[in-house]
């Protein structure tokens, strides 16, 4: 590729670029010519480009100045550069170039990328289906439409999950979707891919985020929800509250754990955290659970607060093998409200997530990014609702 340079001895000629700036110019030019940055699209911020190209911001600034001189990009004072030449009327305008508020993007289809999960106990509709309803309801008002890119029923290994999610993310990008709403399970993978997609079209993450990304997010306030659940159990007279969780380094799991710990510490009650295996193999032993719930009546937990509904169901089955019944011997709670009743028919006390509202809010953020691509990233944690059912009787009652 020919790299244009300038003779510093000529009058009114910019100084020659440094070797680093030349490399930055070449990299940015290649991306523009390959369509990685499309005509009319804002370039990433200087900070983002500096991190991406691993150069100083002044190197990026020099490269941008060169591409402006070449006519590959345009830039107004104090504004981010735009790929291509601005039209004459845009050049004379004072505002930063943005999409017309009423205009549709290249495609009015939005990809909702999720694992569809579900099971026979989810009688009120799966969480994924309810999120989809919320997304599509909001998008339809703006003449957009959600397309469910199904990842399958259940994630596999980390590598398999990452590969499957990457395939659907690439599909959305390659087929010109106008945005992506993504519920990731492989939260340690596909960082660069999501970052690249986010430069082209709006991306909103659901429930969890991929570490190291500054990306729009919508989920529930897990910390406050589990704090409320634990406080409710304490008010019912429970002092030995076991918290049953998996050791997963994602913020919903960790925030729920911290909400439980904060509540029992505030009450001066003992912390009883029990970690179960991360696999879904129900035949795998739970030795810590066995040891804790085989304690004498006055020492074992009176209630098990589980980090989700499915764990509450699995724990109930496990307690039955130990000769314990719910709620006579041990009360049990869940989280999510995707399972309202245990297999015995007993109502499950749980936390209800507002799935439809989560979908609506994600769609609202995505639509707002089409109107204003420079809007700051949003991180939204929505309130939940404590649902009290028969699995947690009040110990204060006679």
Tell me the average pLDDT across 86-107.
40
What pLDDT score does 99 carry?
Answer: 38
Share of the chain above pLDDT 70, in %: 85
According to the model, what pLDDT value does residue 123 have?
53
CATH code for position 142: 3.40.50.2300
**Which residue in 46, 77, 78 sits closest to 63, CA to CA?**
46
The pLDDT assigned to 126 comes to: 78
pLDDT higher than threshold 60 for residue 133: yes
Q: How confident is the model over 382-392, as a mean pLDDT?
A: 97
Partners of 111 in the β-ladder: 147, 180
- Rounded to an integer, the average pLDDT of 34-50 is 77
Pair (78, 168) in one structural domain: no
pTM > 0.85: yes or no: no
Q: Is the pLDDT of residue 93 over 80?
A: no
Q: 285: burial class by Cβ within 10 Å (0-12, 13-18, 19+)?
A: exposed
Rounded to the nearest integer, the mean pLDDT of the chain is 84
| Statement to judge: residues 196 and 240 lie in one domain | no
What's the rounded mean pLDDT across residues 183-187? 86
Range among 51-60, 65-74, 343-352 with highest mean pLDDT value: 343-352
- Domain boundary (38, 57, 91) is at 91
pLDDT at 117: 62
- Residue 384 pLDDT grade (very low, low, confident, very high; cuts 50, 70, 90): very high
In a domain, 71, yes or no: yes
Residues 231 and 344 reside in one and the same domain? yes
238 lies in a domain?
yes
Do 211 and 239 lie in one domain? The reply is no
Residues 205 and 266 reside in one and the same domain: no
Q: List the domain range (segments joined by +) for residue 260.
A: 222-353
Which of residues 29 and 335 earns the better pLDDT score?
335
The Cα–Cα gap between 76 and 70 comes to: 15
335 and 226 in a common domain: yes
* More confidently predicted of 348 and 125: 348
**Is the domain of 133 the same as that of 212?**
yes
Q: Is pLDDT of 94 > 50?
A: no
278 lies in the same domain as 186: no
Q: 184 and 82 share a domain? A: no
Do 142 and 202 fall within a single domain? yes
Higher pLDDT, 12 or 165: 165
The pLDDT of residue 59 is 86
Q: Do residues 149 and 296 share a domain?
A: no
User: Into how many domains does the chain fold?
Assistant: 3
């Amino acid at each position: 590729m020919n790299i244009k340079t300038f003779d510093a001895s000529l009058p009114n000629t910019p100084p020659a670029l440094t070797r680093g700036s030349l490399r930055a110019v070449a990299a940015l030019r290649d991306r523009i010519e390959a369509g990685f940055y499309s005509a009319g699209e804002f370039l990433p911020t200087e900070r983002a480009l500096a991190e991406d190209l691993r150069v100083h911001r002044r190197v990026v600034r020099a490269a941008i100045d060169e591409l402006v001189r070449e006519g590959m990009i345009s830039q107004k004072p104090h504004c981010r550069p735009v790929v291509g030449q601005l039209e004459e009327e845009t050049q004379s305008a004072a505002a930063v170039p943005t999409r017309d508020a009423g205009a549709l993007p290249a495609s009015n289809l939005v990809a909702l990328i999720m694992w569809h999960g579900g099971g026979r106990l989810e009688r009120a509709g799966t969480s994924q289906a309810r999120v989809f309803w919320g997304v599509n309801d909001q998008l339809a008002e703006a003449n957009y439409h959600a397309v469910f890119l199904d990842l399958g029923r259940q994630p596999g290994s980390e590598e398999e999950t990452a590969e499957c999610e990457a395939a659907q993310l690439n599909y959305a990008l390659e087929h010109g979707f106008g945005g992506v709403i993504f519920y990731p399970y492989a939260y340690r993978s596909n960082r660069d891919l999501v970052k690249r997609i986010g430069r082209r079209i709006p991306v909103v993450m659901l429930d969890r985020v991929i570490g190291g990304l500054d990306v729009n997010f919508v989920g529930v306030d897990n910390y406050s929800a589990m704090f409320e659940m634990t406080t409710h159990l304490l008010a019912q007279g429970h002092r030995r509250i076991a918290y049953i969780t998996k050791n997963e380094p994602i913020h919903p799991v960790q925030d729920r754990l911290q909400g439980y710990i904060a509540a029992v510490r505030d009450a001066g009650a003992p912390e009883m955290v029990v970690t179960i295996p991360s696999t879904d193999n129900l035949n795998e032993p739970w030795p810590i659970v066995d040891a804790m719930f085989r304690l004498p009546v006055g020492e074992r937990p009176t209630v098990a607060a589980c980090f989700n509904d499915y764990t509450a169901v699995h724990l109930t089955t496990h307690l039955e093998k130990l000769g314990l019944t719910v709620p006579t011997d041990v009360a049990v709670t869940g989280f999510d409200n995707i399972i309202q009743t245990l297999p015995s028919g007993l109502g499950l006390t749980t936390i209800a997530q507002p799935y439809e509202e989560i979908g609506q809010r994600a769609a609202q953020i995505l639509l707002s990014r089409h109107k204003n691509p420079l809007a700051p990233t949003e991180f939204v944690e929505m309130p939940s609702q404590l649902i009290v059912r028969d699995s947690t009787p009040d110990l204060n009652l006679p």
